[in-house]
Amino acid sequence: MASSRYHRYDGGDPLAPPVDLAEALDAIGEDVMAGYSPERAMQKFLRRGGQDHAGLDDLARRVAERRRDLLQRHHLDGTMDEVRELLEKAVLEERKQLVRDPMMDDADRAFRELRMDSLPSSPSAAVSELADYDWQSREAREAYEQIKDLLGRELLDQRFAGMKQALENATEADRRAIQEMLDDLNELLEKRTRGEDTQQDFDEFMAKHGQHFPENPQNLDELIDAMAQRAAAAQRMLSSMTPEQRAELMQLSAQAFGSPALMDQLARLDRNLMSLRPGADWAGSERFGGDEGLGLGDGTGVFQDLADLDALADQLSQSYGGARLDDVDLDKLARQLGEEAAVDARRLQELELALRRSGAIERGFDGELRLTPKAMRQLGKALLRDVAQRMSGRQGQRDLRQAGAAGDLSGATRPWAFGDTEPWDIPRTMLNGVLRRSGDPNGPLLSIEDVEVAETEARTQAAVALCVDTSFSMAMDGRWVPMKQTALALHTLIGTRFRGDDLELIGFGRHAETMRIEHLTALDARWAKGTNLHHALLLANSHFRKHPNAQPVLLIVTDGEPTSHLGPDGEVFFSYPPHPMTIALAVRELDNARRLGAQTTFFRLGEDPGLARFVDSMARRVEGCVIAPETGDLGAAVVGSYLGSRRGGGRDTSGPGSYGDFFGSRGFWVG
């Protein structure tokens, strides 16, 4: 029975297609070819992002902009500004009352006016000075009481988010309930300090006071974590104030709710939280420079936002050991930057996971990530598509029109004959049977004369040696990645379309070596003097001799003259300018390749006149071909040469429509 799986909707477009690995693999493969490790290449792509989603760097930039905006938009005097406004209102209303009250004794009026005139300029000192004042104006008294109420609600809002609004117009009974909650909370925290708390203690506390904790913690640890984060933010806000601002606030705090009892409970709470979570950031500070004032509660929220943004910046940097994109807190990201940012981050997480699970990247025995053969095939197919576009539909056919058991279908059919092994053409065979039975309804459904077979194009087998220059000049002049892309494209073409051919990849720098495609694509540029064409040709001829029945095809990509060769003792000899012995040994092996029947094509990179003279003379000697493509056209030139390697005795005409003409590369044949 079919089953369905469901999970919680986590944002984004529910109809969006799954992550596409093709773009990521193309970018990662190119960076690997440029010398990056697969791990670093993958991280680079995740940092940059794709065409339809942001990368880590863009998200980190937005986090930094959000943090900067908070600091530049706000200042920390919001509560003091509100106190000043209420104080000015109280004093103004009291003055009005003193002026219009006809029943007041003149001496009393003068005394009260003098007291109003002599109030300290400091709001906190003025509020303290008026603590025992007998207000004559009802509006003035209400404004002054609002100051004490505001301070109490702001101080509570620092530790309990939303308390400022919840306690607006609170009754005395509401305030007593808050005092009781604080007392019970401190007792519970002190039990934890002594190691005497139980889950039942927590459950009873939440049953009684749970309405004050919208985070809905499930145990005491979650409660402590949430409260410690906010209390630490409150401490950082206090540390960020100037000494004058802190002194004003401390003096005002004693007036909260008209009693110092609240401050005593909050100080006790802070001590308990600091002892239980000493690792929290209790001592940090920030510099604000904006025009929008922050109250104590809102300011604490901003400091929590700043802490969240700092954590997100660290997570998005992925710069710590063992970093994974799963570390990014998507809930925090959505709160700070919006749902779209969280969707982008989730897509990156899915992409990283898909890359690791797709079989495209694997961890070797040495613990390092590497591209798998599957990934190499995908990259090769992408490179072949690019090559096909560059070749602009020109097909260098190298097929022989001949019926045979092996090869591709030609599209033609013929009647079956004894000994044929070609596949049957079922539609034509059935049609022949139907037509025959129309004249003979009683005849058999099928007869041997009805059978037609599909003709195929048999392909001749080739032994291909691709010799690529791996000297440091290739990397220095920007030819390193195109060289690797060319090798991978040819490797993929032969592995998928011409499986009967045998490709040998040979890299030659100071010395030469045969390489697997995975080794070549991951090869780092090495500073080593020497271009050892002699050694490369020795390996190529050895490859040809192992396949005596195959057509040898020699493809040489280089940007420099031979400057090193192997001595009789196997040691490398280097000389620049090239030593005559180096040239002679390279020529000898090239002659051996010609005697083996190899069709040779040189791909000359760069404008070095000495290289041009050498390559021209070598090609003339073996009746080979010289192509000087632009770097970006190298892959198309090599693939095109391979496809046309055995047409017309191995020669292209170099006339209109030839590869040399098509690429504008000054390609020519030397006879």
Q: 433 with 317, same domain?
A: no
**Residue 41 in tokens:** 């290449």
Q: Helix, strand, coil proportions of the chain in percent (round to 5)? A: 55, 10, 35
Residues 597-645: tens digit of each pLDDT: 999 999 888 888 888 888 899 999 998 888 888 877 777 778 777 777 6
Q: 319 with 194, same domain?
A: no
**Residue 51 in tokens:** 């065409």
Bond prior to 577 in cis (omega within 30° of 0): yes
Residue type, 206: M
Residue 255 Cα distances to 166, 258, 379, angstroms: 20, 5, 72
Closest CA to 184 of 160, 152, 209: 209
Tell whether 4 is covered by a domain.
no
How far is it, in rounded angstroms, from Cα 408 to Cα 497? 10
How far is it, in rounded angstroms, from Cα 146 to Cα 137? 14
User: Is residue 391's pLDDT more than 50?
Assistant: yes
User: Is residue 544's pLDDT more than 90?
Assistant: yes
3-state secondary structure of 290: coil
Q: 353 with 502, same domain?
A: no
How far is it, in rounded angstroms, from Cα 81 to Cα 293? 8
User: Is residue 662's pLDDT more than 60?
Assistant: no
User: Is the separation of the CB atoms in 468 and 512 below 8 Å?
Assistant: no
Tell whether 398 is covered by a domain.
no
- Is 435 or 368 the better-scoring residue by pLDDT? 435
419: confidence class by pLDDT, cuts 50, 70, 90: low
Q: 367 with 281, same domain?
A: no
Q: 259 with 126, same domain?
A: yes
3-state secondary structure of 420: coil
Residues 235-255: tens digit of each pLDDT: 888 888 888 888 888 888 777
How far is it, in rounded angstroms, from Cα 545 to Cα 651? 23
Q: Under 8 Å CB-to-CB from 576, ≥6 apart: which residues?
A: 529, 563
Q: 341 with 257, same domain?
A: no
| Averaged pLDDT of the chain | 81
Structure confidence at residue 654 (pLDDT): 37
CB atoms within 10 A of CB 491: 22
- The DSSP line for 534-575 is HHHHHHHHHHHHT-TTSEEEEEEEESS---EEE-TTS-EEE-
- The DSSP line for 436-463 is HHHH-TTS-S--GGG-EEEEEE----EE
Tell whether 242 is covered by a domain.
yes
- What count of Cα atoms within 13 Å lies in the side-chain half-sphere of residue 274? 14
- Is 394 or 547 the better-scoring residue by pLDDT? 547
Closest CA to 348 of 58, 576, 573, 569: 58
Residue 338: exposure state from Cβ atoms within 10 A (0-12, 13-18, ≥19): exposed
Tell whether 442 is covered by a domain.
yes
User: In the structure, how many helices (H) and strands (E) does the chain have?
Assistant: 26, 15
Q: Under 8 Å CB-to-CB from 45, ≥6 apart: which residues?
A: 24, 27, 28, 31, 55
pLDDT (mean) for 517-541: 85
From 457, 478, 493, the end of a domain falls on 457
How many residues would you count in the chain?
671
Tell whether 388 is covered by a domain.
no
**Residue 115 in tokens:** 């007291």
Q: 491 with 629, same domain?
A: yes
From 347, 371, 395, the end of a domain falls on 371
**Residue 384 in tokens:** 């072949």
> What kind and span of H or E run contains 340?
helix 339-357
Which own/partner contact pairs does 359-366 have at CB distance under 8 Å and 24+ positions apart? 360/21, 360/25, 361/28, 361/38, 361/42
Tell whether 377 is covered by a domain.
no
3-state secondary structure of 374: helix
Q: 471 with 449, same domain?
A: no
664: confidence class by pLDDT, cuts 50, 70, 90: very low
Q: 248 with 329, same domain?
A: no
Q: 135-144, 248-257, 465-474: which range is least confident on average? A: 248-257
Q: 130-144, 253-267, 338-352: which range is least confident on average? A: 253-267
471: left (phi over 0), alpha (psi -120 to 50) or beta: beta
Tell whether 403 is covered by a domain.
no
Closest CA to 601 of 565, 550, 647: 647
Number of folded domains in the chain? 4
**In the block, residue with structure tokens 């009805």:** 450
402: confidence class by pLDDT, cuts 50, 70, 90: very low
CB atoms within 10 A of CB 332: 18
Closest CA to 423 of 399, 405, 400: 405
Q: Under 8 Å CB-to-CB from 64, ≥6 apart: which residues?
A: 313
User: Is residue 156's pLDDT more than 70?
Assistant: yes
Tell whether 560 is covered by a domain.
yes
User: Is residue 70's pLDDT more than 60?
Assistant: yes
Q: 281 with 152, same domain?
A: yes
Q: Where residue 514 sits, what CATH number does that domain have?
A: 3.40.50.410
Q: 256 with 327, same domain?
A: no
The CA angle 139-145-151, to the nearest 5 degrees, is 140
> What kind and span of H or E run contains 508?
strand 502-508
Range of the domain at 82: 77-287
User: Is residue 15's pLDDT more than 80?
Assistant: no
Q: 489 with 354, same domain?
A: no
How far is it, in rounded angstroms, from Cα 451 to Cα 429? 5
Residues 277-332: tens digit of each pLDDT: 998 888 888 888 888 888 888 888 888 898 899 989 998 988 777 778 888 999 99
**In the block, residue with structure tokens 């209400």:** 142
**Residue 232 in tokens:** 């630490």
**Residue 129 in tokens:** 């000075």
